[in-house]
Amino acid sequence: MYLRKIAVGLSAFVLFSAGAHARGAIDLYSTQERQLSFDTCADVFPGATPIKTATVPASLKPLALCSDHFAVLYSQTSKTPLVVVERLNARQLKDAKGEERTNHFYADPRIPKGARAELSDYRGVQPAMDRGHQKYPVRTILNT
């Protein structure tokens, strides 16, 4: 795919990188982003047609999350994203070149506490697992 074309990239992560700690992290989200639906971010989906959460099995407890430039269809059962949609363009890719990872992670405060992966889900378990990036929280795997 050429960089001049807008690309829809699928990437996934449960924990979002930012310079804030878990306390006050909800303040990073606008009122629109705090709404648990794709109504406010339909433009990031191909054809501006969001995924309908009703088409996902109820057993996965799907949750729609919008952020400034991407959307996440999240499973409260597995504590992982099912799909992440992000609209990219050449300017964004060029701007991101050389950007360093901060490694400041926090659990998404829009997800109910018992349904989200916490940093503690990844501590002290061997083999070690990376936080986010569509990895099952270790404690979820061990408890199933």
Question: What are the structure tokens assigned to 73, written together?
Answer: 């269809």
What three-state secondary structure class fits 91? Answer: helix
Q: What DSSP state is assigned to residue 127?
A: S
Average pLDDT, the chain: 75
Spell out the domain ranges in the chain. 7-142
> Whole-model pTM above 0.85?
no
pLDDT for residue 70? 92
Triad 130, 80, 37: Cα angle to 5°: 135
Q: Which residue has the tokens 């986010």?
A: 132
Which tens digit of pLDDT belongs to each residue from 81-110?
A: 999 999 888 998 898 888 887 777 778 899
d(CA 65, CA 72): 5
Q: Which residue has the tokens 């909800």?
A: 26
Largest CA distance in the chain: 46
